[in-house]
Structure 1
Amino acid sequence: MKKTKIYLGLALLAVTGIVLVAADHIDAPGSMGTSADIADFYAFEPTTGSDNTVFIVDLQSSVLPDLAYGTFDENVLTEINIDLDGDLIEDKVIQAIPRDGIMYFFGPINPSQKGLNSQVWVDAPLGSVEISGTTAKVTTTTDGVKLFAGPRQDAFFFDFFQFNEVISGNAPLGFKTPEDAVDTFDGANTMSIAIEIPNSMLGTPTAKNALGLDVYKTWVTSNKKQ
């Protein structure tokens, strides 16, 4: 199968199961401030009982609202990894990589090379979508896969300045109530990649979450061309 040059892993953010969220803002020094920096990863059913799964990867969320964001780095490959047998090794991967204003998606495929190194499986195209600007653009493939890439409002709600006051000992009353807290990231964007895909293309989930529901074990990595 045709593939491209090796990409070496830069950042990893893990989450197990559906309707879970992981956050990892501004603490990956090797990728901070670039679209290799993974901020959040969401995996969930679009509706209760749906036969689809939605994956959302938010990248480059290390700046305050009044600072500018960049674009997707064409040397960075983003991979959504899915473990189907409980050994915490990817059995399926979905890849996303930008070229000339288009985000190209590949997979899901069982990669022959696993772990830190990855290669783009160009013989397994999933679809592509024009990278959005101020207007969101979504592509739906003939397989029923929906694809999006572009800037989105940062969904992470956090009063960063009050947090600093608390940890420095300058806020004896602690954190503010939800009504009084200020969302530091309000108005800020992340560079987001979103996929809605039929579960039939992923395989049968073998894990259970705390509610006893069948879920996928999944995590995301960013990889830079070597």
Structure 2
Amino acid sequence: MKQSLKFVFGLSGLAVVLATLIAADHIDAPSSAGTSADIADFYAFEPTEGSNNTVFVVDLQSNVLPDLAYGTFDEDVLTEINIDLDGDLVEDQVIQAIARDGKMYFFGPTAPTQTGLSSMVYTDFLLGDVQISGSTAIVETTDEGVSLFAGPRQDPFFFDFFQFNAVISPELGSAPGGFLPVGEAADTFDGANTMSIVVEIPNSMLGVPTATNALGLSVYKTWVTTNRKQ
């Protein structure tokens, strides 16, 4: 496996989404838009109340309307989940995912040797791998209790895109009523997919969370980046 993945060392940052719990950032810059380097949504949460696990969900490539072809994971793009454990907004642990020959390989969690927008693949810290799903979801669970998934999932983002464009249109009167009420708004992304990467991992493998959310719960400060081979 190391031989098949060694070419990806040395990558530079394309996109970043920061979240304490949930963040959305649909359609990034032209260099990444419409590819699996384009970060749509990032979620981090407990799977059940009181669980000792954390689930990370990265949704990529969002600007696809229903009935159009969906892409796949770019083998030259590294997705990296960054975790800050001491509050300085610098990653102390990283979990990496990169596609190769129909599988998604995961590495980490490990302390990175370099931080910021440049990265390398830590192939000495293989977390596991999973076949990239098609119409049927495939989940692999490792002996350490880590569950892994990669593949298309329905876009969870509800957004009336065309009404939004009408509201912000410079032409006066194009949407005098503003946004439509519940029941009348259309979910533009209904039926569209994102390319999703999911990791459920025991907190004992990550370290102790040091941040506190609005509910007073201890959480990880975490964000996701995509990096392309240079």
TM range (shorter): over 0.9
The residue that corresponds to 1:5 in the other structure is 9
DSSP-derived class of the 1:55 partner: strand
209, 213, 219: which one pairs with 2:217?
A: 213
Q: CA deviation at 1:184?
A: 0.2
One-letter amino acid matched to 1:30: S
The residue that corresponds to 2:125 in the other structure is 124
Unaligned runs of 5+ in 2: none
Q: CA deviation at 1:145?
A: 0.4
One-letter amino acid matched to 2:207: G
DSSP-derived class of the 1:224 partner: strand
Q: CA deviation at 1:27?
A: 3.0
The residue that corresponds to 1:29 in the other structure is 30
Q: CA deviation at 1:189?
A: 0.4
Q: CA deviation at 1:211?
A: 1.3
The residue that corresponds to 2:19 in the other structure is 15
Query: Does residue 91 in structure 1 map to residue 92 in structure 2?
Result: yes
DSSP-derived class of the 2:162 partner: helix
In 1, the alpha carbon distance for the partners of 2:159 and 2:118 equals: 33
Q: CA deviation at 1:29?
A: 1.9
CA contact (8 A) 2:26 2:41 kept: yes
The residue that corresponds to 1:43 in the other structure is 44
Percentage of identical aligned residues: 74
TM-score by length of 1: 0.96
DSSP-derived class of the 2:165 partner: helix
One-letter amino acid matched to 1:27: D
One-letter amino acid matched to 1:43: A
CA contact (8 A) 2:59 2:194 kept: yes
Query: Does residue 106 in structure 1 map to residue 107 in structure 2?
Result: yes
In 2, the alpha carbon distance for the partners of 1:30 and 1:39 equals: 15
In 2, the alpha carbon distance for the partners of 1:129 and 1:208 equals: 32
Deviates more, 1:173-182 or 1:132-141: 173-182
CA contact (8 A) 2:28 2:39 kept: no
One-letter amino acid matched to 2:201: I
DSSP-derived class of the 2:152 partner: strand
In 1, the alpha carbon distance for the partners of 2:27 and 2:119 equals: 24
In 2, the alpha carbon distance for the partners of 1:177 and 1:106 equals: 45
Q: CA deviation at 1:205?
A: 0.3
CA contact (8 A) 2:36 2:60 kept: yes
In 1, the alpha carbon distance for the partners of 2:82 and 2:175 equals: 41
Q: CA deviation at 1:131?
A: 0.1
The residue that corresponds to 1:67 in the other structure is 68
In 2, the alpha carbon distance for the partners of 1:5 and 1:173 equals: 52
Q: CA deviation at 1:172?
A: 1.2
Deviates more, 1:64-73 or 1:92-101: 64-73
Runs of 4+ residues deviating >3 angstroms = none
Listed one character per residue, the Cα deviations across residues 100-141 of structure 1 (whole Å, up to 9, x for unaligned) are 000000000001111111111001000000000000000000
Q: CA deviation at 1:208?
A: 0.6
Q: CA deviation at 1:82?
A: 0.1
In 2, the alpha carbon distance for the partners of 1:29 and 1:213 equals: 37
Deviates more, 1:174-183 or 1:105-114: 174-183
Q: CA deviation at 1:166?
A: 1.3
Listed one character per residue, the Cα deviations across residues 70-96 of structure 1 (whole Å, up to 9, x for unaligned) are 110000000000000001000000000
DSSP-derived class of the 2:194 partner: strand
In 2, the alpha carbon distance for the partners of 1:106 and 1:190 equals: 22
